Amino acid sequence: MSDIIRYKHIGFLKFAVLLVMIFAVIISVCPVFAQAEESGNELTPVFDTDSIFNDYEKIIYGFDDIESLKADFENPENLPSLIVNGTQISIKDKGNYNVIIFGDADCDGIIDARDAVLAQCFTEGMLTPEKHQEYAADCNHDGKTDKNDVYLMQMSGVFTAEINQKEFYKVPESDTLVVYFSATSTTKTLAEYAAEYLNADIYSITPEVPYSAEDIAYYTNCRADREQSDPTARPQIKDLPLNINSYDTIILGYPIWHSQAPKIVYTFLESFDLTDKTILPFCTSHSSPLGSSAQNLHSAASSANWLAGMRFAAGTSSQTISDWLDENGIEPYQPQPENDRIINITVNGKEFKAELYECAAADEILEMLPMTINMSELNSNEKYYWLSKNLTVNNQRVNYINEGDLMIYSSNCLVLFYDSFSTSYSYTPIGRITDTSGLKNAVGTGSAAVTFSK
Ligand SMILES: Cc1cc2nc3c(=O)[nH]c(=O)nc-3n(C[C@H](O)[C@H](O)[C@H](O)COP(=O)(O)O)c2cc1C
């Protein structure tokens, strides 16, 4: 299921969103907030939001970098840059709420869907470890949804919404998104060919107010005619995704309406920061060429990397679409077979299986295999080894370590944990031993000879 689809669910979530919380309250109930302060971590709570956001009935609360935040709060005109997404959501049985989602709520250095989980924190019913299968999200980014995520959420004062966040936050598999608007399904068919060939997620731009047959009876001064001649027209989109950050490439399909893209395509592009995203546009039409339609869209996402577009007639074959994508260097996504990420770890002669997570550092470790190293002992809970090469890390506070976890400390210290404990240190989780029985005995009390192999 795509991110987009998941985001669409947000409009139906049965949850109540937090009223503005002031800093004093937060600090008293959320130890993790206090930790950020104590540790000198640059992430620190937002406060004094009431005065700034008093137009919003409810606010989803998060962190951001304190320096930029301070600057933004001192100069409220800068606030749009702070607001990742302002949207109106509809909560079943509770009406509509104006909501701002902003900030790096889980302090992992990126603002993403997981922050939305934390932002849902202030809803009824505390998470419990027993409930985690149903309700937790992968807050510590270790590739698993487990009790550690629950602890993290609890530490953050998180309460759960009645949603299946596990499904909601499944990591997208492809970095390409096919986006299309289609009033009579011609463009839709070609967009589906593209998504199928690329193994990509697909999102249909759906108007808040659907276009009836009369609305698109062109040259009758119909709704579509009027919108196309009105430079300010921006038809609203139903269930606009909260963000599309996880995609690098967008294939954008639309019908030609009076030689241009329909105005709702502008609405879509203007709803996101598409900086550095690659956009490959295509259109369908009765007879008009692509013309200036794609070029004119550039202004709606001027920091994107736009590729030249293409016009296709109705009935274009799927082969033509695949060939066109190939010509533009857009490659189909090929999921890695799962067992490619299962490795063998032999510790002082005893064999274990480990799964490596889908992250750059784990990929780099995979490239180094087979590897035999002498891992040093530390603190009666870990064996570590400084690799000669720095890895592409994404260090984050993991809060809790499980026996069998494999992590990178700093940028090149490979750590195998053989006990479980809470920690305030930051690591990049790269994998875990799946069955840890016998691990403690195998590692012994001193340094250990460990072989990692595929
Ligand atoms: C309001 C409107 C304006 C249109 N203007 C043009 C046009 O300027 N040139 C053209 O060749 N086709 C035009 N068409 C036809 C559509 O571009 C064409 O049927 C397209 O393939 C429909 O795609 P869809 O089925 O995905 O909506 C127009 C259609 C509508 C509804």
pLDDT digits (tens, 9 = 90+) for 381-426: 999 999 999 999 988 877 778 899 999 999 999 999 999 888 888 8
Q: State residue 63's pLDDT score.
A: 32
The answer to whether residue 28 scores a pLDDT higher than 70 is no
Looking at per-residue confidence, does 130 or 7 come out higher?
130
Q: Is the CB of 255 under 6 A from ligand 1?
A: yes
The answer to whether residue 446 scores a pLDDT higher than 80 is yes
Ligand 1 test: best mutation among 218, 228, 263, 290, most atoms within 8 Å of CB? 218
Q: Where are the domains of the chain?
A: 3-168, 176-327, 338-453
Q: State residue 400's pLDDT score.
A: 78
- The span from the CA of 201 to the CA of 57, in Å, is 33
Q: Is the CB of 184 under 6 A from ligand 1?
A: yes
Which long-range contacts link 412-415 to residues 24+ away (Cβ below 8 Å)? Answer: 412/386, 412/387, 412/388, 413/384, 413/385, 413/386, 413/387, 414/365, 414/373, 414/375, 414/384, 414/385, 414/386, 414/387, 415/382, 415/383, 415/384
Determine if the pTM surpasses 0.75.
no
Which of 22-31, 241-250, 301-310 has the largest mean confidence?
Answer: 301-310
Which residue type, as a one-letter code, is found at position 4?
I
Q: Which residues pair with 382 in a beta bridge?
A: 378, 417
pLDDT digits (tens, 9 = 90+) for 216-256: 999 999 999 999 999 999 999 997 775 687 789 999 999 99
| Mean of pLDDT values over 327-352 | 87
Q: State residue 189's pLDDT score.
A: 97
**How does residue 2 score in pLDDT terms, banded at 50, 70 and 90?**
very low
Residue 381 per-residue DSSP state = T
Class at the top of the CATH hierarchy for domain 176-327: alpha beta
Q: Which atom of ligand 1 is nearest to the CA of 184?
A: 25
- Which range among 220-224, 257-261, 266-270, 427-431 shows the weakest confidence by mean pLDDT? 427-431
Looking at per-residue confidence, does 28 or 177 come out higher?
177
Return the residue whose CA atom lies nearest to atom 31 of ligand 1.
Answer: 216
pLDDT digits (tens, 9 = 90+) for 38-71: 222 222 223 233 333 333 333 333 333 434 444 4
Q: Which atom of ligand 1 is nearest to the CA of 286?
A: 11
The contacts of residue 336 (CB under 8 Å, 6+ apart) are 358
Q: Answer yes or no: are the C-beta atoms of 33 and 155 closer than 8 Å.
A: no
| Mean of pLDDT values over 169-186 | 80
Q: State residue 340's pLDDT score.
A: 79
Residue 138 CA: distances (Å) to CA of 117, 133, 197: 9, 11, 30
- The span from the CA of 274 to the CA of 399, in Å, is 33
pLDDT digits (tens, 9 = 90+) for 113-167: 455 455 444 332 333 334 434 444 565 666 665 556 555 554 443 333 222 232 3
The answer to whether residue 447 scores a pLDDT higher than 90 is yes
Q: Is the CB of 287 under 6 A from ligand 1?
A: yes
Return the residue whose CA atom lies nearest to atom 27 of ligand 1.
Answer: 183
Q: State residue 349's pLDDT score.
A: 92
Choose the CATH number for 338-453 among 2.40.100.20, 1.20.120.1200, 2.40.50.140, 3.40.50.280. Answer: 2.40.100.20
Q: Is the CB of 216 under 6 A from ligand 1?
A: yes
- The span from the CA of 428 to the CA of 416, in Å, is 12
| Mean of pLDDT values over 359-388 | 94
Q: State residue 452's pLDDT score.
A: 97
Q: Is the CB of 207 under 6 A from ligand 1?
A: no
The answer to whether residue 306 scores a pLDDT higher than 70 is yes
Mark out the alpha helices in 47-180 (DSSP H runs).
Answer: 49-52, 66-74, 79-82, 113-119, 132-135, 147-155, 165-168
Q: State residue 396's pLDDT score.
A: 81
Return the residue whose CA atom lies nearest to atom 23 of ligand 1.
Answer: 255
The answer to whether residue 449 scores a pLDDT higher than 50 is yes
- The span from the CA of 21 to the CA of 321, in Å, is 51
Q: Which atom of ligand 1 is nearest to the CA of 254?
A: 26
Tell me how far the alpha carbon of residue 285 lies from the centroid of ligand 1, in angstroms.
5
- Give the mean pLDDT of the chain: 72
| Mean of pLDDT values over 181-200 | 96
